[in-house]
């Protein structure tokens, strides 16, 4: 049976325009936008009144870790609970990560994650992490791009003795990504420095969570961002830096972009709001709940991140949603380096950015759409199917009530985590309805997420215009000397 929803009287906001328009969704796709939409509504069509509300593309969180086995444990939220929480907050797609153990065949890890994700309530996709290198990895990257719709590969420059990439792997993988038309992405922190600093901080007698930011200072992130950007420049491949948290890496990106390099940056909602004072909380549980990497930073870094988003030097917002409960965090009671790294946010991201971004005048509603959905869709090549309200696009939409209020709390969140890093934050501007695949999945507090309803999103490779390699070839060619 055909299912249809007509959204009447709202203001449609895309990344490039804001207009009063009705929107008709039929069978999971946007069938009409604008004046004629109501006339096309089939008999029995559900009608939602959006007067006084914005109608915006469903959010895309391009960085989550549901059901992640990490640091000796597994995150609280699995693909069902995590994506259900996402839907409650207006996020209708996530891009999660396949993270193979070193030496594990890529395709084996990929199939495992695909299976885990079948219970997702929202649409989902995967970046695949490159954690080691040999010919089989090169081969499997090709299979993933050509057959599985993976167009981005992640590189952890931190987590020594676990999933960290050395420069040899970075160079090989970036070059292979370029060949395939896939985007390399990096977690930029110098893992050797983190490893050394963790031991030095411990030797000083600092074993609690306050040691975590001391072992991962901003320059550690700046160094890695600069190195990854330099490698990408030499190879002529674009690069996306995940969770840019500080001035040092934001400036590395801005400098490279000023040189004409294709570099993109992602900011986490948490890094914009929470500062490093949380690590000095005398309550271990609270301090440890905030342990994630990169760590929360002093306030001046937050200002730089906002400026980056406002100026267009930084492009997407995400959460790195990766929830561990208090009991799991206690694994690091004697040593901060053993506290499982991760915090939540997938449900809160869009509203937090509205309150702290749009209500403060930092962002227009269209700019907010750009950084909560459209830019991620463009950078990972699923636009305008996702991230846009237009005829033919997926019917992933949110009715956004700019006057709606809510105070964030662990008591009311849908995530299975037992902590909320935004606890007590008063929001003005909240989702009233979320529509995913043309189905109403959230309505004024009533979450109707369906286990297994989410679909895997294939993301096609980029074409040859993606590369800066020809520029590099031209630069090198004239230096060849003909000797007689």
State the nearest-atom distance from the C-beta of 194 to ligand DUC, in Å.
11
Residue 216 interacting partner from ligand DUC, Zn ion, none (CB closer than 5 to 8 Å by kind): none
Angle of the 218-235 helix axis to the 191-203 helix axis, nearest 10: 170
Q: How far is CA 217 from the centre of its chain?
A: 22
Strand (E) positions, 42-139?
A: 46-49, 54-57, 59-61, 69-70, 73-74, 91-98, 123-129
Q: Which residues of the chain form contacts with ligand DUC (CB under 6 A)? A: 65, 70, 187, 292-293, 320, 322, 341-342
Residue 341 interacting partner from ligand DUC, Zn ion, none (CB closer than 5 to 8 Å by kind): ligand DUC
What is the number of the residue whose Cβ is closest to Zn ion? 187
State the nearest-atom distance from the C-beta of 373 to Zn ion, in Å.
19
Closest C-alpha among 97, 66, 88, 121 to residue 323: 66
Query: Using CA atoms, how far apart are residues 482 and 114, in angstroms rounded to an integer?
Result: 54
Buried b (16+ CB within 10 A) or exposed e, 114-146: eebbebbbbbbbbbbbbbbbeeebbebbeebbe
Strand (E) positions, 111-221?
A: 123-129, 152-156, 183-187
Asked if 290 and 343 count as a contact pair (C-beta separation under 8 A), the reply is yes
Instruction: Give me the sheet containing 23-26, strands edge to edge.
Output: 29-33, 23-26, 4-8, 46-49
Residue 342 interacting partner from Zn ion, ligand DUC, none (CB closer than 5 to 8 Å by kind): ligand DUC
* DSSP H/E element including 12: strand 11-13
What is the number of the residue whose Cβ is closest to ligand DUC? 292
Residue 401 interacting partner from Zn ion, ligand DUC, none (CB closer than 5 to 8 Å by kind): none
State the nearest-atom distance from the C-beta of 163 to ligand DUC, in Å.
9
State the nearest-atom distance from the C-beta of 295 to ligand DUC, in Å.
9
Q: Which is nearer to Zn ion, 320 or 367 (CB)?
A: 320
Q: Which is nearer to Zn ion, 187 or 433 (CB)?
A: 187
Instruction: Give me the sheet containing 183-187, strands edge to edge.
Output: 59-61, 91-98, 123-129, 152-156, 183-187, 239-241, 263-268, 316-318
Q: Is the dihedral of CA 430, 435, 440, 441 positive or negative?
A: negative
Residue 189 interacting partner from ligand DUC, Zn ion, none (CB closer than 5 to 8 Å by kind): none
Number of CB atoms found within 10 A of residue 111's CB: 13
Q: Which is nearer to ligand DUC, 73 or 428 (CB)?
A: 73
Q: Which is nearer to ligand DUC, 341 or 375 (CB)?
A: 341
Residue 437 interacting partner from Zn ion, ligand DUC, none (CB closer than 5 to 8 Å by kind): none
Beta bridge partners of residue 37, listed in sequence order: none
Asked if 459 and 180 count as a contact pair (C-beta separation under 8 A), the reply is no
Residue 217 interacting partner from Zn ion, ligand DUC, none (CB closer than 5 to 8 Å by kind): none
State the nearest-atom distance from the C-beta of 393 to Zn ion, in Å.
28
Residue 408 interacting partner from ligand DUC, Zn ion, none (CB closer than 5 to 8 Å by kind): none
Query: In residues, how long is the chain?
Result: 484
Query: Using CA atoms, how far apart are residues 90 and 86, in angstroms rounded to an integer?
Result: 6
State the nearest-atom distance from the C-beta of 274 to ligand DUC, in Å.
13
State the nearest-atom distance from the C-beta of 394 to ligand DUC, in Å.
28
State the nearest-atom distance from the C-beta of 99 to ligand DUC, in Å.
9
State the nearest-atom distance from the C-beta of 4 to ligand DUC, in Å.
40
Q: Which residues of the chain form contacts with Zn ion (CB under 5 A)? A: 187, 320
Residue 292 interacting partner from Zn ion, ligand DUC, none (CB closer than 5 to 8 Å by kind): ligand DUC
Strand (E) positions, 260-393?
A: 263-268, 316-318
Q: Which is nearer to ligand DUC, 185 or 375 (CB)?
A: 185
378: three-class secondary structure by DSSP: helix
């Amino acid at each position: 049976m055909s299912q249809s929803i007509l959204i009447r009287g709202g203001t449609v906001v895309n990344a490039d325009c804001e207009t009063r328009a009705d929107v008709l969704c039929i069978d999971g796709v946007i069938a009409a936008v604008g004046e004629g939409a109501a006339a096309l509504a089939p008999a029995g069509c559900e009608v939602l009144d959006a007067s006084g509300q914005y109608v915006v593309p469903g959010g895309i969180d391009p960085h989550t870790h549901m059901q992640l086995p990490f640091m000796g444990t597994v995150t609280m939220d699995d693909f069902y609970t995590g994506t259900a929480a996402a839907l409650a907050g207006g996020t209708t797609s996530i891009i999660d990560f396949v993270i193979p153990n070193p030496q594990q065949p890529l395709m084996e890890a990929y199939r495992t994650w695909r299976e885990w994700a079948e219970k997702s309530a929202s649409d989902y996709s995967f970046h695949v992490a490159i954690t080691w290198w040999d010919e089989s990895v090169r081969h499997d990257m090709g299979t993933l791009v050509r057959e599985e719709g993976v167009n981005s590969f992640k590189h952890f420059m931190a987590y020594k003795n676990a999933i960290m990439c050395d420069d040899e792997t970075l160079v090989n993988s970036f070059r292979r990504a370029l060949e395939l038309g896939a985007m390399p992405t990096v977690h930029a922190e110098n893992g050797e420095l983190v490893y050394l600093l963790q031991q030095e901080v411990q030797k000083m007698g600092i074993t609690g969570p306050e040691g975590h930011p001391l072992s991962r200072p901003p320059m550690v992130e700046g160094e890695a961002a600069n190195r990854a950007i330099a490698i990408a420049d030499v190879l002529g491949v674009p690069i996306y830096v995940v969770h840019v948290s500080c001035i040092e890496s934001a400036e590395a990106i801005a400098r490279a972009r000023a040189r004409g390099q294709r570099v993109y940056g992602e900011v986490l909602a948490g890094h914009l709001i929470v500062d490093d004072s949380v690590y000095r909380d005398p309550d271990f549980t609270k301090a440890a709940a905030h342990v994630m990497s990169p760590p929360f930073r002093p306030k001046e870094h937050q200002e730089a991140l906002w400026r980056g988003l406002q100026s267009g030097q930084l492009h997407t917002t995400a959460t790195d949603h990766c929830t561990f409960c208090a009991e799991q965090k206690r694994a690091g009671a004697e040593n901060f380096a053993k506290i499982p790294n991760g915090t939540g946010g997938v449900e809160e991201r869009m509203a937090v950015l509205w309150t702290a971004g749009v209500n403060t005048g930092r962002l227009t509603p269209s700019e907010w759409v750009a950084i909560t959905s459209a830019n991620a869709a463009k950078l990972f090549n699923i636009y305008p199917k996702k991230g846009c309200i237009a005829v033919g696009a997926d019917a992933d939409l949110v009715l956004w009530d700019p006057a709606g209020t809510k105070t964030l709390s662990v008591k009311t969140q849908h995530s299975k985590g037992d902590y909320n890093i935004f606890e007590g934050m008063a929001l003005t501007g909240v989702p009233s309805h979320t529509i995913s695949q043309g189905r109403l999945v959230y309505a004024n507090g009533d979450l109707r997420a369906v286990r297994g309803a989410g679909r895997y999103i294939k993301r096609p490779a980029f074409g040859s215009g993606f590369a800066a390699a020809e520029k590099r070839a031209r630069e090198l060619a004239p230096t060849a000397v003909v000797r007689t």
